Amino acid sequence: MSFLRSSRLVLALGVVSLSVVSAMVAAERSALAMATAADRFLESLTPEQRSEATFEFQSDERTSWHFIPTEMFPRNGLTLKAMTDPQRARAHDLLSAGLSQRGYLTATAIMDLETVLHALEPNGRLVRDPETYLFSVFGTPSSDGAWGWRIEGHHMSMHFTVVDGKAVAGSPYFFGSNPAQVRTGPKSGLRVLGAREDAARTLVMALDGAQRTEAILEDVAPDDILTGANVDIDPLSPVGVRASALNPSQRELLLQVIGAYTSVMADDIAAERMASIRDAGLDGIGFAWAGPTERGAQHYYRVQGPTFLIEYDNFQGDGNHVHSVWRDFNGDFGRDLLREHLQASAH
């Protein structure tokens, strides 16, 4: 190996190591921000409200989740509707602590779509109310040990686990959008999750014939994400076209698809997530599509790497109802962080 190549390798390794270390240090900022926001939220509650909003960290409730309306999947926690205005502000501060500005705006836009559904379904059997989302805190927010929090409701389920005040897990997380594109009323044209669709379609259209044959699994999209709301999941097969078969510009488009999901998290959590993905190896990431590729048709795609899975489905509502999810095979509900914490504690 020449001196020049050797120097470049050392420099590259240094950059990777620096990015990982920087992400870990930055994650402490989000952990502290979430602990502070959770404390302020809990302090604002009455004893009765606190009993609704809090659970033991080891409770089975922590891994209970779904994305369908609460009438179809009864949930626990404290609803925004049951809070005073100052309490709602503190709940939103907690939500904001786990998300980027883009993520917070996306989350609140999903909640606000309930008003659109209410207008579209004036005599519907389901309650369409942006204040029916529930907040829950698991364990005691602190700088040591483990604790977590969750926000859940129709088309939104976000789970955060904080370990030792310096490590944050943010999966599973689900965002949905119904309608995918608002077609009538004052919000006409709004596409809350449009970036996720557009990034993936740009990638599939950039594939050559052989790549597209490998990527497109079926002519018809499935009627929902395949992993549903399962607590435990395994990698899906086939994976589609792998990143190792993509040219540099196509690989960049693949990263933009992933970025449409990581960008909703707080910047430091997103950076740590991307560092972990790169550490596991970009070449092993696969991209798969099902259904037609033209805009407006029912379609599905997934991005699967060694450690994570993205699923996106737009089948329901005649292709105008999105379900999308991020899962970590070993890290959902902070399992990997908790395993490392227990191993360290044992020594």
Tell me what pLDDT residue 342 has: 76
**Percent of the chain predicted with pLDDT > 70:** 91
Angle at 183 (CA atoms; ends 187, 264), nearest 5 degrees: 60
201 vs 297: CA distance, rounded Å: 11
Beta bridge partners of 55: 138
Q: Cα Rg for the chain, rounded, in angstroms?
A: 21
Q: Band of the pLDDT at 14, cuts 50, 70, 90? A: very low
Residue 23 pLDDT > 50? no
Q: Which residue has the tokens 């449409």?
A: 260
23 vs 16: CA distance, rounded Å: 11
Within the chain, how many helices (H) and strands (E) appear?
Answer: 10, 13
Q: What does the domain layout of the chain look like in residue ranges?
A: 12-183, 194-334
Q: Band of the pLDDT at 171, cuts 50, 70, 90? A: very high
> Tell me, what amino acid is at 86?
P
The model's pTM: 0.91
Q: Which residue has the tokens 């602190």?
A: 142
DSSP string of 285-301, one letter each residue: -EEEEES--STTS-EEE
Residue 24 pLDDT > 70? no
88 vs 141: CA distance, rounded Å: 19
Residue 178 pLDDT > 80? yes
Residue 8 pLDDT > 60? no
Backbone angles phi, psi at 300, to 5 degrees: -150, 145
The pLDDT tens digits for 260-285 are 999 999 999 999 999 999 999 999 99
Angle at 93 (CA atoms; ends 159, 99), nearest 5 degrees: 50
The pLDDT tens digits for 25-39 are 455 788 999 999 999
Count CA within 13 A, CB hemisphere, residue 46: 5
Tell me what pLDDT residue 343 has: 76
Residue 20 pLDDT > 50? no
The pLDDT tens digits for 287-345 are 999 999 999 999 999 999 999 999 999 999 999 999 999 999 999 999 999 988 777 76
Tell me what pLDDT residue 27 has: 59
How much is the average pLDDT of 13-22?
41
Q: Which residue has the tokens 């002519």?
A: 219
| SS3 label, residue 159 | strand
- The answer to whether the Cα torsion of 178, 190, 259, 222 is positive or negative is positive
Tell me what pLDDT residue 26 has: 52
Tell me what pLDDT residue 346 has: 62
Q: What is the mean pLDDT of the chain?
A: 91
